């Protein structure tokens, strides 16, 4: 998972990109990068860490020009390296260009082998670089080379291709990952989420369609529809469950509203709830817990406190590291929990590590009963399209029945939202169709990698 952002026709464009990336920081904390164009040359800086670390002050002093693009990268277990920090920069027959990618090319390993056999020398271990090598094998015009390279790529992508004079954007034909177009003064903005448009005071023009390619040049935007698009898209429902910011509109639906509805639906599905308080696992469980409280009538209580200075518990490479950083992150308010019957609400359970720790803490704080309510179905299968869910063997629900997961979590009861309920909540008035829910079903809408071990998922 990653966040991407670009702006054109704008003074100090790199500063605007920095502000946009700050609003997308939740989509990736491993590395941050910005590339700008002064009209002739590209200027770039990327580094490991948060936007605030890599760009502590204005970026435009170093990165001049009226167009810029940026990327925040999501941590994966293995390849946490500077050489993979995007935007990746290249020179070749199409001139200087940079690429910023959110998603995962599922046939990247096969394509990379094929390209390497023909002599390609890769500078990173990302799947994203494959697109550039494919482009370099074709002559101008640039947009045709870009589109022809995308024709060979399978899987999920929202992409920005940045050149000195033009910015291209593309969304894969199934529309897995979000991407929106905005307006800022005389220029345009591209962003993974609308929250980043708001952060720079750009107005939302529209979502980029699945299978659409945009060309931003000289203050104008051109739209191409070069792919045969399946009627029903496969938008990632996990964006609504966990990933996106509550203040964003994702796939045309406000994320907070979707999450609150997930919580409401979960309470409906559970029927009458006998409990004293509804407690969210912050921050990701808050919206669903509000909805759960709406419907059940059980009062909402912030009885778990999050230390905001401890970050990135989920993506630590080893289980011991994950457990110790999770242990420093969430703390119970004993006064609120003592002798209470508690419904604990979280958005999802992945490995079960955090959830078990929290259940233990809430019990130690004196809770009388702990009912775990999860605002999405059991995650049973890995994501191949850009969410860093672990391999099946690390997923607590992959091979266990709900009762076995409950035992593992040491909860008094465990309730998951149904898939139908989730899709209804995520779709809102638009309905339940058109989502990828592969992580909950193991049914994948696009081919998955033949050689899973070799791919660099994000
Ligand atoms: P678990 O109890 O399964 O170890 O962790 C569940 C928690 O992980 C939930 O609170 C959920 O919000 C969070 N989570 C789910 N998916 C992701 C992800 O892709 N990245 C991060 N950082 N956290 C996640
Ligand atoms: Mg969480």
Predicted local confidence at residue 313, as pLDDT: 53
* Local confidence band at 457 (pLDDT 50, 70, 90 cut-offs): very low
Nearest residue CA, atom 12 of ligand 1?
284
Which ligand has the minimum distance to the alpha carbon of residue 322? 1
More confident residue, 424 or 321: 424
Predicted local confidence at residue 321, as pLDDT: 66
Predicted local confidence at residue 228, as pLDDT: 84
Lowest-pLDDT choice from 20-29, 70-79, 227-236, 406-415: 70-79
Both structure tokens of 161: 């291709």
Q: Kindly name the residue from 2, 10, 236, 439 that is annotated as catalytic.
A: 2
Asked if the model's pLDDT at residue 78 lies above 50, the reply is no
Predicted local confidence at residue 77, as pLDDT: 44
Ligand 1 pocket (Cβ < 6 Å) reads: 242, 281, 284, 314-315, 346-355, 387-388
Phi first, then psi, for residue 192 (nearest 5°) are: -60, -40
Nearest residue CA, atom 9 of ligand 1?
348
CB 209 within 8 A of CB 228: no
Distance 66 CA to ligand 2 centre (A): 38
Asked if the model's pLDDT at residue 458 lies above 50, the reply is no
Asked if the model's pLDDT at residue 5 lies above 50, the reply is yes
Distance 62 CA to ligand 2 centre (A): 36
| Choice from 102, 314, 392 to test ligand 1 binding pocket (greatest atom count within 8 A of CB) | 314
Would you call 155 helix, strand, or coil by DSSP? strand
User: Which residues sit with Cβ closer than 5 angstroms to ligand 2, an ion?
Assistant: 284
Which has the closest alpha carbon to 214: 187, 231, 233, 190?
190
Predicted local confidence at residue 213, as pLDDT: 98
Distance 350 CA to ligand 1 centre (A): 6
Give dist(CA 101, CA 239) in Å, integer.
16
Atom of ligand 1 nearest to the CA of 387: 19
Query: What is the pLDDT of the chain when averaged over all its residues?
Result: 93
Predicted local confidence at residue 131, as pLDDT: 96
Distance 355 CA to ligand 2 centre (A): 9
Calculate mean pLDDT across residues 113-142: 94
Distance 299 CA to ligand 1 centre (A): 25
More confident residue, 161 or 125: 161
CB 325 within 8 A of CB 310: yes
- At 85-111, the pLDDT tens digits run 899 999 999 999 999 999 999 999 999
Distance 349 CA to ligand 1 centre (A): 6
Question: Distances in Å between the alpha carbon of 3 and those of 58, 74, 188, 363, 386?
Answer: 20, 8, 17, 37, 11
Predicted local confidence at residue 74, as pLDDT: 87
Asked if the model's pLDDT at residue 115 lies above 80, the reply is yes
Asked if the model's pLDDT at residue 434 lies above 90, the reply is yes
More confident residue, 122 or 388: 122
Which ligand has the minimum distance to the alpha carbon of residue 77? 1
Asked if the model's pLDDT at residue 276 lies above 50, the reply is yes
Domain 239-452: give its CATH code. Answer: 3.40.50.2020
Give dist(CA 355, CA 361) in Å, integer.
10
More confident residue, 7 or 310: 7
Q: Per DSSP, what are the bridge partners of residue 203? A: 183
Distance 201 CA to ligand 1 centre (A): 31
Separation of first and last alpha carbons in the chain: 5
Calculate mean pLDDT across residues 439-450: 91
Domain 3-231: give its CATH code. Answer: 3.60.20.10
Atom of ligand 1 nearest to the CA of 388: 19
Which ligand has the minimum distance to the alpha carbon of residue 26? 1
Predicted local confidence at residue 309, as pLDDT: 84
Nearest residue CA, atom 21 of ligand 1?
314
Predicted local confidence at residue 315, as pLDDT: 54
Predicted local confidence at residue 454, as pLDDT: 39
Predicted local confidence at residue 389, as pLDDT: 75
- At 155-189, the pLDDT tens digits run 999 999 999 999 999 999 999 999 999 999 999 99
More confident residue, 329 or 278: 278
**Whole-number percent of the chain with pLDDT over 90:** 85
Asked if the model's pLDDT at residue 335 lies above 50, the reply is yes
Which has the closest alpha carbon to 346: 275, 270, 289, 277?
289
Active site (annotated) includes residue 10 = no
| Choice from 348, 351, 440 to test ligand 1 binding pocket (greatest atom count within 8 A of CB) | 348
Asked if the model's pLDDT at residue 316 lies above 80, the reply is no
Give dist(CA 162, CA 169) in Å, integer.
9
Give dist(CA 358, CA 364) in Å, integer.
10
Q: Per DSSP, what are the bridge partners of residue 305? A: 331
Which ligand has the minimum distance to the alpha carbon of residue 360? 1
| Choice from 259, 283, 350, 416 to test ligand 1 binding pocket (greatest atom count within 8 A of CB) | 350
Domain with CATH 3.60.20.10 in the chain: 3-231
- At 397-433, the pLDDT tens digits run 999 999 999 999 999 999 999 999 999 999 999 999 9
Calculate mean pLDDT across residues 283-296: 97
Q: Of all helices (H) and strands (E), which one includes residue 129?
A: helix 129-136
Strands 31-37 and 187-191 come out as unpaired
Nearest residue CA, atom 23 of ligand 1?
314
* Local confidence band at 350 (pLDDT 50, 70, 90 cut-offs): very high
């Amino acid at each position: 998972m990653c966040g991407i952002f670009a702006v054109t026709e704008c003074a100090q464009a790199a500063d605007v990109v920095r502000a946009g990336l700050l609003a997308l920081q939740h989509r990736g904390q491993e590395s941050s990068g910005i590339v700008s164009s002064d009209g002739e040359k590209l200027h770039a800086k990327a580094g490991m860490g948060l936007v605030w670390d890599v760009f502590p002050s204005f970026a435009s002093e170093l990165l001049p020009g009226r167009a810029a693009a940026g990327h925040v990268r999501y941590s994966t277990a293995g390849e946490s390296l500077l050489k993979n920090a995007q935007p990746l920069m290249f020179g070749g027959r199409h001139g200087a260009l940079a690429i910023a990618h959110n998603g995962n090319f599922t046939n990247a390993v096969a394509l990379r082998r094929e390209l390497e056999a023909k002599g390609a020398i890769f500078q990173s271990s990302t799947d994203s670089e494959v697109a550039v090598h494919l482009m370099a094998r074709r002559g101008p015009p640039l947009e045709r080379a870009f589109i022809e390279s995308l024709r060979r790529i399978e899987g999920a992508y929202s992409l920005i291709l940045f050149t000195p004079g033009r910015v291209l954007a593309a969304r894969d034909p199934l529309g897995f990952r979000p991407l929106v177009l905005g307006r800022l003064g005389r220029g345009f903005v591209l962003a993974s989420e609308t929250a980043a448009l708001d952060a720079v005071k750009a107005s939302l023009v529209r979502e980029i369609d699945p299978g659409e390619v945009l060309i931003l040049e000289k203050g104008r935007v051109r739209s191409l529809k070069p792919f045969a698009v399946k009627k029903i898209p496969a938008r990632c429902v996990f964006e609504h469950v966990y990933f996106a910011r509550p203040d964003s509109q994702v796939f045309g639906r406000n994320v907070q509203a979707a999450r609150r509805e997930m919580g409401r639906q979960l309470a409906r599905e559970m029927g009458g709830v006998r409990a004293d308080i509804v407690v969210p696992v912050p921050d990701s469980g808050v919206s669903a817990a509000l909805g759960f409280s709406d419907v059940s009538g059980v009062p909402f209580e912030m009885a778990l406190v999050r230390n905001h200075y401890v970050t990135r518990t989920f993506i630590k490479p080893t289980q011991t590291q994950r457990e110790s950083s999770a242990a420093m992150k969430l703390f119970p308010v004993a006064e609120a929990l003592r002798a209470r019957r508690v419904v604990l609400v979280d958005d999802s359970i992945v490995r079960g590590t955090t959830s078990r720790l929290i259940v233990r803490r809430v019990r130690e704080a004196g809770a009388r009963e702990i009912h775990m309510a999860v605002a999405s179905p059991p995650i049973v299968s890995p994501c191949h399209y850009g969410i860093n869910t672990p391999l099946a063997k690390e997923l607590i629900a992959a091979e266990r029945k709900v009762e076995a997961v409950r035992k593992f979590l040491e909860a008094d009861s465990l309730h998951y939202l149904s898939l139908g309920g989730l899709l209804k909540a995520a779709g809102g008035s638009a309905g339940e169709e058109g989502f990828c829910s592969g992580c909950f079903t193991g049914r994948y809408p696009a081919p998955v990698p033949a050689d899973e071990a070799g791919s660099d998922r994000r």
